[in-house]
Each structure stands twice: as C-alpha cells, then as structure tokens.
C-alpha cells in the first residue's frame, strides 16, 4: 500500500507547525515534511513528532534575501550558503529529520556549477555526522525562472561530481513533468539516485487526482520498482486541505 507524506509548506498552513503535524496524523498521513521551519522552536516540533509517531522526512535550507531561492550555487555567497547549511543541519538533527534539501538559487554557468558542488560537498560532510541525507531538486522554469538546477540530467551530473554516499535526487513529479515529461521511464532510470519523491497535479499544482499526470499509474510504477518510502504530497489545495483529501482514497 502506498504511503504518503504531508508537505506542511502547503498543507494545513492555517495551523502552527506542531499542530499541522498532529492534523496530518489524524487524517492518515504516514509522514510529514516541511519547507522552512526555523521560526518554530525545534523542541516543539520534536514533541509533536514524538507524540504522533510520524517521521519528518525533510526540510529546506533558507532561500536567502527577499526574492532569492537558495544560496548554494551563488558565487561569492559561500559563507552565507554554508551558514544556511549549518542552520539546516542543526535543526534537522534536533528534530530527527531524515533529509535536507539544499537550495541552489538563481544562477547559471560553470562557476555556479563548481560553487554548488563545493557547497554540497560541505553539506554532505556536515550532515553525514547525523545520518542525514542531502537532496537536490530540479525546479521548473515557469515557477522558478533562472533557477540553477532545472533537469534530472543536470542533477545526476552534480550528484556524480559530489560523489558522496549521502546525496540524492529529490524527484518532484510536478517539476519534472513540466520540464521533461516521460515520468515512468525517468523513474525507472533514476531510481538508484532518488532519495525522495514528491507529487502534485500538472499544470495547476493542486490535488493529484486531476490534471495531465495519471498518478494511479505513477504509484503503481513505484510499487513495481520496490519503492516503499512515503511519497510527498506537495500541492496547493484548491480550497482547504481537508476538503481536498479525497485522492487519498482513490489513487
């Protein structure tokens, strides 16, 4: 049976993060994940996780200044990027989070690639001390124009360049359907380097039981591939989170 993780960056956003964790547990999610939890005391998040028994699958490094979308591929911003990585590792370790998504930012070119690889090497070394995996995620050029990491091939090249045991691909079906399509074959090909999978409808990024992607097929494909970890529901509800959860019974 497919397991699901509630992405609390988009779901139950009317609640505090600890209460959102409790709400996710009440409606049957198997895990949770978040974006930027840093304004919430880590002990309060950890208490909610312990209370519900839900694992926290991951969190993101901070975006940076207003209008930015990550720091780790920005040449000349290495000190800020590493401070963001340190912050994420400390918080993730405190709450028992399994993964950290290191955000690249808006940049391009060879120097940006080298900068990203070097910062990821740092992130992998720091996080390995806590058994945490580093994730990188291609983002589509409609929602994140000029984001450094846009394709799965680019992500694979970076992962190979970093060459650490604890770096993986965040395979977001929404972003990769927009950028590349052919999700079934990409999942089959990339499974050895996938660390987490997220989903939402395309193109609306709403509940997954609509739009152009057949998630019943995607979930069956993942089951056939032996992927058993919870899949991240990272979508924007059309109305309320609760009203939009019918897909959990039908997909």
CA–CA gap between residue 88 and residue 36 (Å, rounded): 9
The single residue of 68, 80, 137, 180 carrying the catalytic annotation is: 137
Q: Residue 136's beta-bridge partner residues? A: 169
CB 69 within 8 Å of CB 147: yes
Compute CA 76 distance to the chain's CA centroid, rounded to the nearest angstrom.
Answer: 26
Which residue in the list 33, 51, 78, 234 is annotated as catalytic?
Answer: 234
Residue 76's Cβ-count burial label (10 Å; 0-12, 13-18, 19+) is exposed
Q: Tell me the two tokens of residue 87.
A: 């912050």
One DSSP character per residue, 15-71 reads S-HHHHHHHHHHTT-SEEE-S--TTS-HHHHHHHHHHHT--B-EEE----STT--BS
The 8-class DSSP code of residue 238 comes to S
Residue 211 CB contacts under 8 Å (≥ 6 apart), including other chains: 201, 202, 203, 204
Q: Contact 61/86 with Cβ under 8 angstroms? A: no
Q: Is 234 a catalytic residue?
A: yes
Residues that are catalytic = 137, 234
């Amino acid at each position: 049976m497919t397991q699901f993780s509630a992405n609390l960056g988009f779901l139950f956003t009317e609640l505090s993060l600890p209460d959102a964790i409790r709400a996710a547990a009440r409606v049957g999610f198997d895990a949770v994940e978040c974006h930027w939890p840093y304004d919430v005391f880590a002990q309060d998040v950890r208490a909610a996780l312990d209370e519900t028994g839900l694992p926290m699958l991951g969190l993101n490094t901070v975006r940076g200044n207003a209008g930015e979308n990550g720091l780790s591929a920005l040449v000349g911003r290495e000190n800020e990027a590493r401070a963001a990585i340190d912050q994420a590792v400390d918080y993730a370790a405190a709450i028992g989070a399994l993964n950290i998504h290191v955000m690249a930012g808006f940049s391009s070119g060879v120097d940006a690639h080298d900068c990203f690889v070097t910062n990821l090497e740092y992130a992998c070394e720091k996080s390995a001390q806590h058994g945490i995996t580093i994730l990188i995620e291609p983002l589509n050029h409609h929602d994140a124009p000029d984001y450094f990491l846009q394709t799965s091939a680019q992500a694979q090249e970076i992962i190979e360049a970093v060459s650490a045991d604890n770096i993986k691909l965040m395979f977001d079906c929404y972003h990769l359907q927009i950028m590349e399509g052919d999700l079934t074959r990409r999942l089959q090909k990339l499974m050895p380097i996938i660390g987490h999978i997220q989903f939402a409808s395309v193109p609306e990024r709403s509940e997954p039981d609509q739009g152009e992607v057949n998630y019943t097929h995607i979930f069956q494909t993942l089951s056939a591939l032996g992927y058993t970890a919870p899949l991240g529901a990272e979508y924007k509800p059309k109305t309320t989170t609760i009203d939009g959860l019918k897909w959990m019974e039908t997909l």
